[in-house]
């Protein structure tokens, strides 16, 4: 948060400049502010206030223009102290609910649709990070024989996420053997998170070595191979919308942004910091550690799939994005997804 005390006049003029710049992507001059915003101030007075705001680091002068544009610091003050959030409309709520419900409750489909919905309603890029599979609570595992040496492992979490993995085995198992293995594992691993399951399996395998129970040892070995890698699933929609913004028409900048989207691991690292706090969080321009994100803002909100599992969704757009509209859309969508997931 920017720790500044501004006069009412300065606040009004800064708000007018930010909102004009959001609307036009053009530097804003004193005459335009005086004319458009009914402030009952002369252009000279507005110009003096703009000069003071520039000295405070809230505005900047592009090298070829007499007008001013907000700095990252200026946008931060606007978001923290000036912006009036628009109430999300009944029509928007109905559209978000309809699109999310049409997925039929499948977690992956729901999160993909949430990303598409955020992009569509904001006109920017929608991004959703699925809950890390290993933090989800174990529900059950099932083994299905596919062939002499091939087994399909189906791992299901309490949040409804499903991981399928085909395992090559060094001996043939009967369907009855696979059922017994599944029953043993389901009773042994009940109530644990997937990461705890991993630890439990390793501990049980050590014990089973001493018990010489070959069937249980094989069951544990199979389940270990069925566990997913610790990686995050990220759904990004509407990357091209970024390039519809005039400030990103430069080819070099476009290449840098595409690279940031391609390197999902770095994006997840950035977004991982957002999961530490619940509710809406906003990162503006230089506040993000990725240099490719210069000139861009990120609005995120966490969502819950069960008591221990947290995911993240949000919108990426230019620093001059329409915060008053995008913030409530992100907030409402995250709350709705949380509700749909906990109702299943």
| Minimum mean pLDDT range among 51-65, 174-188, 205-219, 232-246 | 205-219
What pTM does this model have? 0.73
The pLDDT-based confidence of 154 (bands split at 50, 70, 90) is confident
Give the rounded percent of residues in the chain with a pLDDT score beyond 70.
77
- pLDDT band at 60; cut points 50, 70, 90: very high
pLDDT band at 172 (very low <50, low <70, confident <90, very high): confident
* pLDDT at 155 (0 to 100): 82
Contact at 8 Å (CB) between 191 and 152? no
Specify the pLDDT at position 52.
Answer: 94
Return d(Cα 13, Cα 20) in angstroms, integer.
Answer: 11
Residue 217 to residues 37, 170, 184, 213: CA-CA distances in angstroms? Answer: 75, 14, 11, 6
Domains and CATH numbers, the chain: 8-82 (1.10.10.10), 90-132+232-343 (3.30.450.40), 134-226 (3.30.390.60)
Please say if the pLDDT value at position 22 is more than 70. Answer: yes
pLDDT band at 2 (very low <50, low <70, confident <90, very high): low
Report which of residues 331 and 232 the model is more confident about: 331
Backbone phi and psi for residue 131, each to the nearest 5 degrees, phi listed first: -55, 140
147 DSSP β-pair partners = 150
Q: What is the pLDDT of residues 234-256, one digit of tens each?
A: 888 888 888 788 877 766 666 76
Residue 159: is its pLDDT beyond 70?
A: no
How does pLDDT run across 82-106, given as a tens digit for each residue?
A: 998 899 999 999 999 999 888 876 7
Q: Greater confidence, 292 or 247?
A: 247
Q: Which is more confidently placed, 86 or 203?
A: 86
Spatial distance between the Cα atoms of 221 and 27, rounded to a whole number of angstroms? 64
Segment 281-305 mean pLDDT: 83
The reported pLDDT for the residue numbered 93 is: 93
pLDDT band at 212 (very low <50, low <70, confident <90, very high): very low
Which of the residue ranges 207-211, 264-268, 288-292, 307-311 would you say has the lowest mean pLDDT? 207-211
């Amino acid at each position: 948060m920017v720790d500044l005390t501004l006069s009412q006049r300065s606040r009004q003029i800064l708000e007018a400049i930010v909102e004009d710049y959001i609307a036009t992507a053009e530097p804003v001059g004193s005459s335009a502010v005086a004319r458009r915003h009914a402030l009952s101030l002369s252009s000279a007075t507005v110009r003096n206030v703009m000069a003071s705001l520039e000295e405070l680091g809230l505005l900047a002068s592009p090298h070829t223009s007499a007008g001013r544009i907000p700095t990252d610091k200026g946008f931060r003050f606007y978001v923290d102290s000036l912006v009036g959030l628009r109430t999300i409309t009944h029509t928007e709520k109905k559209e978000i609910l309809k699109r999310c419900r049409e997925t039929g409750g499948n977690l992956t489909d729901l999160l993909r649709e949430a990303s598409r919905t955020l992009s569509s309603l904001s006109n920017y890029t929608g991004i959703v990070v699925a809950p890390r599979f290993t933090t989800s609570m174990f529900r059950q595992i099932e083994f299905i024989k596919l062939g002499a040496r091939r087994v399909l492992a189906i791992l299901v979490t309490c949040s409804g996420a499903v991981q399928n993995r085909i395992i090559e085995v060094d001996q043939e198992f009967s369907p009855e053997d696979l059922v017994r293995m599944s029953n043993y594992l389901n009773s042994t691993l009940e109530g644990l998170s997937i990461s705890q399951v991993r630890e439990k399996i390793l501990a049980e395998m050590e014990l089973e070595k001493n018990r010489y129970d070959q069937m249980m040892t094989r069951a544990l070995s199979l389940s270990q191979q069925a566990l997913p890698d610790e990686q995050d699933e990220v759904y990004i929609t509407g990357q091209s919308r970024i390039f519809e913004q005039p400030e990103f028409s430069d080819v070099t900048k476009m290449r840098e942004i595409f690279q940031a989207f391609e390197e999902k691991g770095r994006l997840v690292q950035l977004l991982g910091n957002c999961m530490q706090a619940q509710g809406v969080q906003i990162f503006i321009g230089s506040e993000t550690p990725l240099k490719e994100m210069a000139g861009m803002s990120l609005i995120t909100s966490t969502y819950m799939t069960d008591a221990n599992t947290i995911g993240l969704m949000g919108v990426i757009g230019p620093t001059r994005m329409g915060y008053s509209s995008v913030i409530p859309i992100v907030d409402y969508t995250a709350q709705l997804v949380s509700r749909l997931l906990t109702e299943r």
